[in-house]
Structure 1
Amino acid sequence: MKEFIYSLEDLFLSDELLDSLQAEKYYIGAYQRGYKWKSFGANDQVPQFLTDIYNAYQENAPEYYLQYITIKKNDEQKSWLEIIDGQQRLTTISLLFYSFAKGFGFENITEDKVTYERYLGRAIFDEVLDFCDKDESTALLLKKHQDLYYIYHAKECIKNFLELLQDEAKGFYEYCKQKVKIIINLEDEMTSAEEIFSNLNDNKVDLTNYYLIKGLLFTKSTRPENHKTSFIEIQEQRNLIARNWDDIDNWLLDTTQNQLFFNAMPIVNTKEKNTGINSLLNALRPREIVENSKETVVKEFHQSLNNLSVKNVVDDYLLFNLYNEHLTNQSKAEAKLIDIYQTSKRLINWFSDNELYNLIGFYTSTRGNINQILQLGSVAVKEKLYDHLKKILQLEEFEISELNYSDPKKRRKLNTILLALNIFTLKKIEGKVCIDFSNRFDFKSYRKHNWSIEHIYPQNPDCSQADYEEYYDWFSNLKFEDINDPIAIKIKLKEALSEEERYLVAQQDIDEHQLGNLALLTSGSNSTLQNYIFPKKRKLLLNLISGGSFVPQHTINAVSKLLNNADEKDPVISFTTNLTEWNQQDIDSNALWIINAYKQLVKIVNQVTIKN
């Protein structure tokens, strides 16, 4: 493949490309998709094409590049250069110069220079210029042929724009001819056009917000405003930007990083995944949409587009539009790139710090807005995160001991506090209780599931005859007020119990909704454990842990009766010794641990001082 740079004038006229390759025209094969550039809104391809060139003309930019066009000699007609990639641009360029000729009488440098296999032998551009969609036959034709529909509306859009130029028309025409340039990729004649087209399109990606914003930033940030920069220099700048861009994207594609910072963040366009650098672009999107260019021509042109009667035009590129309307010049684009790069470095530094990692994870898991901390330094961000933690831990209406399952408001608060106690575990160092930041909470696993409050002892025990036989010792150890109770006698004689009898035995005289009988589990684990009796639930829970399921540390320690105070001065926790039992003493012990740990955490957080 060989690369050449040509102005539009040299692309079609004089003794440049066509003559040098002994060619007469450009040819677009039937295997290519039809023309698809939209013309209905300010950020559609055709209006953007026009206003970008016009802005470059207004700025007197020495060059304006329209990206690549890939060509090769046609296998059958050697005087034809086949367009492998770039027909959308070439068609739009042709429509522009046909419109210059029809509207102002300027020379049409593209006349008879582009032909389509599907319209072979027809002057398709002349036909479209004479179309009027108010004519019934024309309207039917446009409805039947989608590419003609888009070509027609592109022609109308260009016509509307050129009519606004008035005295500027000649200068804009000359600028388009001489200063607008295209890079030509010349492919080897030995390779078929279909094969090249297939390879090019196999490597292409959909035009998402991500790729459009990337192209916008790369183009505008390297477009000089006050000095001349060669194309080679521009490419070198873009290559450097691209390396930084790819590093950021790859780092944020890891779900461990991405979910920590951006999991709970709403995105502009729900059709696209909030992954990789796209999450950062979404977080750093311009908050205010600036007015379009103050140039009268562009403003009037955009207003005219709003009056087009086109139905079912959906804006899939709202995020791109926000950037595009804000980044109106090189300095703004460069500043945004710097912002993206510096913010990514800040995130990397925060991620490597265990304290910040856990604080940020809790912040984004409890409705903290990531946009409110992205621009903060290390001291300010810690202050913000600790303030958030302090606020979340506050219990203004009730005491920690009053939290329970039956009151929805208290249940939601307990859910958050138990999450905090699982993230900010406590230990004693040199006689002082502090948060153990040597451990990093597994936010990646946590966010794969919904956590909810689980009853350690079930509300409505569910146990089969098989459970009765497997956990017979558990049933036989349950206390009965009357040792002559028929059910007690049946158990003693190891007789089968009915479903109702098994339920009566398993149902303890306790308040299942009280604080000490509650712990956090994922929704999947909750469904696995269901309302099974405690010994079966404990066994299944241990199986989940050994199988790699993510079980909160407090839940593990509670059912294993391993909870201990971080400070020995706190009220003593005393579980029963039988690991297959869970009674009121165990419930009180779990409640006491939650109360002690909560009070210690609140005390530590209130005493935190951030140092530079």
Structure 2
Amino acid sequence: MAELLYSLQKVFTTYPNGKTYNIPEYQRGYKWSEQQVRQLLDDVYIFSLNRDEDHFYCLQNITLFQNLDKENYLNVVDGQQRLTTVTLLLSYLESNELVKDKIYYAVREPSNNFIQKIIYNQSDVINTILKADSFESFITSQDEDLDYQDIHHMFMALKTIDSWVKSKTDFDKGSFTNIILNHVKLIVNKVENVLEQELFMNLNAGKVHLDGSDLIRAILITRVAKQELVDYDPLNVEDILKLNQRRTRIGWELDEMNSWWNNDDVKLYFQSFTSIQTGKKETIKFSQEIHPINLLYKIWAEIKGENEITLYCFEKEEALLTYQSIVKLHRVLKDWYEDRKIYHYLGFLFAHTKMKVKTIYSKWNSINITRDQFTNEWCVKQLKEAVFGKENKDTDDVGYNFWMSKIKDYSQEDPTNWYDTTIIQKILIFLDIIEHSKTKEKGIPLPFLKPRYFKNYQEDKEHIFSGTPRELNEIKDLPNPIEKLNEYINSLNIEYESSQHIPTFKYDQNQWDSLVEEEKNNALTEFKLIIHKRRPVNSLGNLVLLHLTINRGFGNDQYALKRTNVIENTINGLYVRHHTVNIFVKSTSSKDLNNWTLKDVERNADNTHSTIEEFFKSILDE
């Protein structure tokens, strides 16, 4: 395997093998700003404070193309800005001999003449530039026309370098030059079998982009293999073969990981595990959309305590340790993803809490916890708090005990209006988690829940037995509202003793027609309150999440229609929550499959209570 990264020493000596880096005519001129030059110097300086002999700072890449007309020219298709900057820097550091005859500016003759004067320091031009009060005064003092934008930027780059050096009281030119030459590296891409102009257009249109994952790959492949071969001898053929074999294997391992992270469901599942982004000052981007393995690197960075991801994150420890920890993390995350319980428990936690992956990973790696304890105790405790809130001794309106007592209060004088509670959607989704996380000794278990369904996905919370204000208000627009309203009241009385019946509506049709709009609204609001107090229409047992495409309607006769739509959507591959499906196939003890009565609501609430209680039983018995 050819070397992937080259120190600046090699970039200007052995790599070109006597050839010159040519900045072709189609390139724009040099235009790095003072901020960009200073940022480069700051990054290298910070790196130098924490490095060891095996560490290096990666200055991204340059892309080269063999000049077809001149054999001794390598056209710089991409990266000329950084190549020019380091040329100016090395000239300032008096390493002129290294860069002589190594760069040629075909883009503009005056620009080439100027940079050559700097490289050769003709007429002590560097010192003249540093002493100049301004660019205008400098070009006025020269015998040639230098009033070009790229020459101005070269002038300012040298001034910035000098200003930066003088700001460092501990600056050691020899030590810093050594770091620049031997510990700052470039990835050199020499491209063949493609049209040069097409390559340039693609690079500048953003179609070809060197990403952070490319650089991490290069760093790991080149450094880890050497660190594993403790007694590596570069002159020993057998050692060279071992090194290349190991580099090939590391590359294969990284490709295998990248392939796994490229799965759409994997990406969607883990994207909620971290919110870490590329550092604001980082010029190298870590795009997980283009390179999915960057999601693994972002999770790794967060676990390491980083607030943002930068290439420097991967330079803080020995490459072998970094690689080993990345591989370990990948295997753990893959294990979680493939474990039915862990997959669903963590998916719900990250969707509904501010849980940090660092906390979970630390708990997983604790020597004081087994896999079973992590899954069935620790995760279950987190779920209990995520669904119901943390128990608070100072208030009794939060926590598991409070909400569980509300599930079966449908027969009380003032039952809970679950429709308007803050946790209704969360608890309905959680019922799905319970069912999908179950394993079966016989038969086929439910499929793993798709990542998007850990949250509400194009769904409405919906009454099964109608009773929402929206539905009641729609009565006013019907041609025979009182008749429909009394039909609804009759449906409310099914399976109830006559002594518990709700009487017919207090207005007949003529009386209703004589009311003004405000009086009608007040009458319906009053009626709604009566229903809520005397029937469990807003009970948890009467609520489901329904896909937006499923018809909503008023009255008990709509249950059969909704049931048909639910079944059709399920058959057609549209996801319907398991809890919702069970409602519409009447998995209660009721034998009436075509109607949903208020007694069904009570039975469903009781079943829901039992399901949740059974799930948390193991930690409640402690």
Q: Which TM-score band applies after superposition, normalised by the shorter structure?
A: 0.5 to 0.7
Q: Deviation string for 1:170-199 (max 9, x for gaps)?
A: 5765787789888877777x9764245457
SS at match of 1:592: helix
SS at match of 1:412: coil
> 1:114: which partner in 2?
103
- Pairs within 5 Å for 1:165-180: 169-170=173-174, 173=177
The amino acid of 2:601's aligned partner reads: I
Check if 1:579 corresponds to 2:594: yes
The amino acid of 1:446's aligned partner reads: Y
Whether the 8 Å CA contact 2:7–2:182 is kept in 1: the answer is yes
The amino acid of 1:284's aligned partner reads: W
Check if 1:600 corresponds to 2:598: no
The alpha-carbon deviation at position 342 of structure 1 amounts to 1.3
Distance in 1, matches of 2:35 and 2:160, equals: 10
> 1:298: which partner in 2?
none
> 2:402: which partner in 1?
397
> 2:462: which partner in 1?
454
> 1:283: which partner in 2?
299
Whether the 8 Å CA contact 1:38–1:150 is kept in 2: the answer is no
Check if 1:254 corresponds to 2:254: no
Distance in 1, matches of 2:166 and 2:63, equals: 25
Larger mean CA deviation between 38-47 and 380-389 belongs to 38-47
Cα gap change, 1:373 to 1:191, in 2 (>3 Å): closer
The amino acid of 1:17's aligned partner reads: N
> 1:320: which partner in 2?
310
The alpha-carbon deviation at position 380 of structure 1 amounts to 4.5
Check if 1:70 corresponds to 2:64: yes
SS at match of 1:365: helix
Cα gap change, 1:156 to 1:405, in 2 (>3 Å): farther
Distance in 2, matches of 1:402 and 1:165, equals: 74
SS at match of 1:118: coil
The counterpart of 1:546, out of the listed 568, 579, 602, is 568
The counterpart of 1:348, out of the listed 327, 330, 334, is 334
Distance in 1, matches of 2:5 and 2:211, equals: 28
The amino acid of 1:257's aligned partner reads: V
The amino acid of 1:244's aligned partner reads: E
Cα gap change, 1:606 to 1:322, in 2 (>3 Å): farther
> 1:569: which partner in 2?
none
The counterpart of 2:359, out of the listed 351, 372, 376, is 372
SS at match of 1:510: helix
SS at match of 1:246: helix
- Pairs within 5 Å for 1:120-139: 120-122=109-111, 123-125=113-115, 126=117, 129=126, 131=129, 135=134, 137=136
Whether the 8 Å CA contact 2:5–2:188 is kept in 1: the answer is yes
Cα gap change, 1:211 to 1:425, in 2 (>3 Å): same
The counterpart of 2:21, out of the listed 9, 26, 33, is 26
The counterpart of 1:444, out of the listed 440, 451, 454, is 451
Check if 1:242 corresponds to 2:251: yes
> 1:555: which partner in 2?
580
> 1:412: which partner in 2?
422
Structure 2 residue runs without a partner (length 5+):
119-124, 141-145, 235-239, 280-284, 366-370, 389-398, 491-501, 513-519
The amino acid of 2:134's aligned partner reads: D
Distance in 2, matches of 1:519 and 1:169, equals: 73
The counterpart of 2:272, out of the listed 235, 239, 263, is 263
The alpha-carbon deviation at position 252 of structure 1 amounts to 2.6
TM-score calculated relative to the size of structure 1: 0.67
Distance in 2, matches of 1:390 and 1:15, equals: 61
The amino acid of 1:31's aligned partner reads: Y
> 1:385: which partner in 2?
379
The counterpart of 1:588, out of the listed 594, 598, 602, is 602
Q: Deviation string for 1:459-493 (max 9, x for gaps)?
A: 12165899989xx99986863956998559x9xxx
State, as a whole percentage, how many aligned pairs show the same letter: 19
Whether the 8 Å CA contact 2:92–2:158 is kept in 1: the answer is no
The amino acid of 1:135's aligned partner reads: S
Distance in 2, matches of 1:180 and 1:477, equals: 79
Distance in 2, matches of 1:274 and 1:534, equals: 49
> 2:85: which partner in 1?
92
Q: Deviation string for 1:94-146 (max 9, x for gaps)?
A: 21331123xxxx55332354222333144333479555696274899999947
Distance in 2, matches of 1:487 and 1:147, equals: 90
> 1:510: which partner in 2?
531
Cα gap change, 1:66 to 1:203, in 2 (>3 Å): closer
The amino acid of 2:321's aligned partner reads: A
Distance in 2, matches of 1:388 and 1:195, equals: 54
Whether the 8 Å CA contact 1:260–1:364 is kept in 2: the answer is no
Distance in 2, matches of 1:14 and 1:211, equals: 24
The alpha-carbon deviation at position 29 of structure 1 amounts to 0.9
Distance in 1, matches of 2:321 and 2:3, equals: 31
Instruction: State the superposition RMSD in angstroms.
Output: 5.7
The alpha-carbon deviation at position 521 of structure 1 amounts to 1.4
> 1:495: which partner in 2?
none
Distance in 1, matches of 2:37 and 2:81, equals: 18
- Pairs within 5 Å for 1:421-432: 421-425=431-435
SS at match of 1:84: strand
Cα gap change, 1:118 to 1:3, in 2 (>3 Å): same
The alpha-carbon deviation at position 396 of structure 1 amounts to 3.3
Larger mean CA deviation between 44-53 and 115-124 belongs to 44-53
Cα gap change, 1:53 to 1:232, in 2 (>3 Å): farther
TM-score calculated relative to the size of structure 2: 0.66
Structure 1 residue runs without a partner (length 5+):
291-316, 491-499, 565-572
SS at match of 2:431: helix
Q: Deviation string for 1:137-157 (max 9, x for gaps)?
A: 489999994795488337633
Whether the 8 Å CA contact 1:363–1:388 is kept in 2: the answer is yes
Distance in 2, matches of 1:343 and 1:236, equals: 24
SS at match of 2:64: strand
The amino acid of 1:384's aligned partner reads: W
SS at match of 1:562: coil
